[in-house]
């Protein structure tokens, strides 16, 4: 995986940005047009950030073409991202996108080392992964900026610097995946912000979104997937949705009961396996949720 940072211009993706950028592309406009800032109604740096997030959340390709996923979600199903299910889809898309390195490595690898952390520990981890990969070195400012933007994507800012719009619009806050809390510093005098990620059963995660993630990630027929891989392999539903072992099993049982012609979940000689059979369209599965 190529390690890359920045591109967001220090801006967290706001809830209305994806629709605004989507419509900009739909009207055959470019982000480099002289009037792009006027058409989008934001500054130049925010214009660059909107393009970055459109790509990061798989709404457009690197060539600025609208993706099948982007068209499905923003051309009618949930253009204003009012449904929490859509936020789960965007969360999934971000982690699957290796260009959003911090999203991908955080949920796939970092959480295996610790589920309680502060920002400095996250930055230290990013630096270590960069060194281990042999990638070029980045400045401390770059690491700090990426960590800030990532954490603010899932949390409201508590530094007093965010404006009211940002406080209410950071895209994935509603998922409640990364939870802030305070812990005293080593001297026991000053509170330091820490974060916690807890694996849960995720009853609030719609089964159709879970099914879509499996179909999109693994293909849609004639495959056998081990429970272990579904729980902890790279880009597995266990990692992406922070599921407990019990929570994952419950979802797999529900999956097989809901679509018995497409999925079979069983245990043989202690090995739990999900079998995928008979092709099913992942977007048709989403249609069963969005209607």
Buried b (16+ CB within 10 A) or exposed e, 196-227: ebebbebeebbbbbbbbbbbbbbebeeeebeb
Q: Rounded to an integer, what distance in angstroms lies between the CA atom of residue 220 and that of residue 30?
A: 35
| pLDDT for the residue 269 | 82
* Helices vs. strands in the chain: H and E counts, helices first: 15, 6
| pLDDT for the residue 279 | 87
| pLDDT for the residue 95 | 98
The model's pTM is: 0.94
Structural domains in the chain, sorted by start: 17-196 (no CATH), 207-290 (1.10.10.1420)
Q: How high is the mean pLDDT in each 10-residue block of the chain (291 residues)?
A: 84 95 93 88 94 97 96 96 98 96 97 97 96 88 96 78 58 96 87 96 98 93 91 98 98 98 91 93 97 88
| pLDDT for the residue 160 | 47
| pLDDT for the residue 3 | 81
Name residues whose C-beta falls within 8 Å of residue 173's C-beta, 6 or more positions apart in sequence. 153, 154, 155, 156
Strands (E), 88-196: 116-118, 179-184, 191-196
Long-range interactions of 110-114: CB distance < 8 A, separation 24+: 111/197, 111/239, 111/242, 112/232
| pLDDT for the residue 286 | 98
């Amino acid at each position: 995986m190529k390690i890359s940072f920045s591109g967001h211009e220090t801006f967290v993706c706001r809830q209305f940005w994806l629709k605004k950028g989507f419509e900009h592309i739909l009207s055959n406009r470019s982000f480099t047009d002289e009037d792009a800032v006027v058409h989008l109604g934001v500054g130049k740096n925010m214009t660059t950030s909107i393009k970055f997030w459109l790509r990061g959340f798989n709404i457009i390709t690197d060539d600025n073409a609208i993706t099948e996923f982007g068209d499905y979600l923003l051309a009618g199903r949930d253009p204003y991202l009012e449904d929490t299910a859509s936020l789960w889809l965007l969360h999934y898309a971000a982690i699957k996108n290796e260009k959003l390195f911090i999203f991908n490595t955080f949920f796939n690898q970092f959480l295996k080392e610790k589920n309680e952390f502060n920002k400095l520990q996250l930055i230290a981890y990013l630096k270590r992964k960069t060194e281990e990969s042999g990638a070029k070195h980045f400045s401390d400012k770059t690491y700090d900026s990426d960590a800030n933007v990532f954490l603010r994507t899932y949390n409201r800012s508590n530094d007093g610097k965010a404006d009211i719009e940002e406080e209410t619009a950071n895209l994935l806050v509603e998922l409640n995946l990364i939870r802030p809390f305070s812990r005293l510093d080593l001297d026991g005098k000053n509170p330091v912000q820490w974060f916690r990620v807890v694996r849960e059963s995720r009853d609030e995660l719609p089964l159709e979104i879970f099914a879509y993630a499996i179909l999109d990630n693994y293909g849609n027929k004639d495959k056998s997937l081990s429970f272990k891989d579904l729980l902890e392999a790279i880009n597995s539903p266990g990692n992406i949705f922070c599921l407990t072992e019990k929570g994952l099993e419950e979802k797999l049982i529900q999956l097989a009961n809901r679509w018995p012609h497409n999925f079979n979940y069983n245990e043989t000689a202690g090995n739990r396996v999900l079998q995928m059979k008979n092709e099913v369209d992942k977007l048709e599965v989403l249609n069963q949720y969005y209607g």
